[in-house]
Structure 1
């Protein structure tokens, strides 16, 4: 009796072509995510945000929509960028650039690709001088205005990166860029899949991870004074929920910002600015 072949070698197509092997679901999902990322674009708006994006050689720019007045105010930034703007009437601007109705665009909008900063390990290791290396990590901070303000403070005080999760965090948007007032073009904003893993990566590089929470037994100045000039990662959570339990467990220390009086709560962007200033003073 003839034994059957170890597998079915018959073609699945009438023309004799072999059937394609079905890809695993996780491979299909990964390819879809890659295609979606490649197709993603962001509309920046406002004179300051557009001017800084035009001056950023790392920014991939696709389409520039301006009113005549905005083009005049941007001056040499437009020809220096190599872009040819679409000049539109102010009354029809909203039809030319697909912005949210409440966007304060000042007659300037620029379609771009999100910035690619590279891996956390490289960005966190960069820097010059004897200043304390600093990184800010955000746990579920979804408000683009808060993240934009934090990016601005991070640039002012010399942080090497602001890290947030790929999900449940504010993405790169026009509102974020406008609040950042140009810092989005210069301050690395890294989105990671798993925040705890990113914190552990920083710890392996020598960073001390300080979680800011009202439950902290030690104040931030006390903790910083004991660290000298060691590198620190300041971790802040969303207003209300605060840091997740997993994030708290990953931190080396949980500290609090000291306050006077009976009210001890700060907006997350204000807390980030205070923490960055304190950390920038060194030990």
Structure 2
């Protein structure tokens, strides 16, 4: 397998999730032989049951492979997963299951730690996909996968050519598109998020900059998250958690 066809995952959550959902893509699992705790033992047993090749190595080698010292003693060389569905295919599948789509769109989020945290929140809230524009976003990487704690493997991350156009397509499917803005007149808690619409898409901008003007104009409505203290904004992953879980609360 050539290097171009090999990716690296590190950390217990990211590697463990890949072993669970696509074990045949794990080429080799490398681990720190000095770790003999129960967590490591469980992971190695899972890897052997999945038929993955397992090998001991030194911590410095793991540092080099992961390009980080936060690998927890576990690094895996894996084949990249096949590209996710198109957005249309995904929405058709969600509709066929009789579910109301719940989506998270990120406008200008370029920090891999923020993307990883957003994927983790999206997984926890049961969102069907995280969507971002190709030109104003970060792609999936080992850092994203580590922060996402397995959610980068379980939540579709779709990159689209034009976010405003994608919002228009979602609205054609009767999916309510709600953006966050500190200038919005209504707060998230004053805004009905359920009703006659087929689904819901949250649109969040990068911390500090917020939504781009065109993205904000294309949303059906804008809401604010109440800020009672001295800081003016929240980290985008925290805001995503508030928005997605308020959706779940209103859906009952």
TM-score class, shorter: 0.7 to 0.9
Q: Is the aligned partner of 1:133 residue 2:101?
A: yes
> 2:55 is matched with which residue?
86
- TM-score, normalising length from structure 1? 0.76
SS in 1 for 2:106: strand
Distance 1:81 1:197, change over 3 A: farther
> 1:106 is matched with which residue?
72
Q: Is the aligned partner of 1:267 residue 2:235?
A: yes
Given candidates 128, 131, 140, the residue that maps to 1:163 is 131
Distance 1:252 1:145, change over 3 A: same
Mean Cα displacement is larger for which, 212-221 or 39-48? 39-48
> 2:89 is matched with which residue?
122
**Alpha-carbon separation, structure 2, partners of 1:43 and 1:219:** 41
**Alpha-carbon separation, structure 2, partners of 1:145 and 1:87:** 28
For residues 17-66 of structure 1, the C-alpha deviation after alignment (integer angstroms, 9 at most, x for no partner) is xxxxxxxxxxxxxxxxxxxxx94643111122111111112873344322
Distance 1:185 1:59, change over 3 A: farther
**Alpha-carbon separation, structure 2, partners of 1:92 and 1:203:** 49
Shift of 1:229: 6.3
Shift of 1:239: 1.0
**Alpha-carbon separation, structure 1, partners of 2:24 and 2:241:** 26
**Alpha-carbon separation, structure 2, partners of 1:159 and 1:146:** 17
**Alpha-carbon separation, structure 1, partners of 2:58 and 2:85:** 39
**Alpha-carbon separation, structure 2, partners of 1:54 and 1:125:** 28
> 1:64 is matched with which residue?
29
Given candidates 36, 41, 48, the residue that maps to 2:13 is 48
Q: Which has a greater percent of helix? A: 2
**Contact 1:228/1:282 (<8 A) preserved:** no
Shift of 1:203: 1.2
> 2:216 is matched with which residue?
248
**Alpha-carbon separation, structure 1, partners of 2:69 and 2:181:** 33
Specify every segment of 5 or more residues in structure 1 that has no aligned partner in the other structure, as ranges. 1-37
Given candidates 229, 237, 249, the residue that maps to 1:281 is 249
How many residue pairs get aligned? The number is: 242
> 1:189 is matched with which residue?
157
Distance 1:212 1:91, change over 3 A: closer
CA RMSD in angstroms, aligned pairs only: 2.5
Shift of 1:168: 2.7
> 1:172 is matched with which residue?
140
Shift of 1:125: 3.9
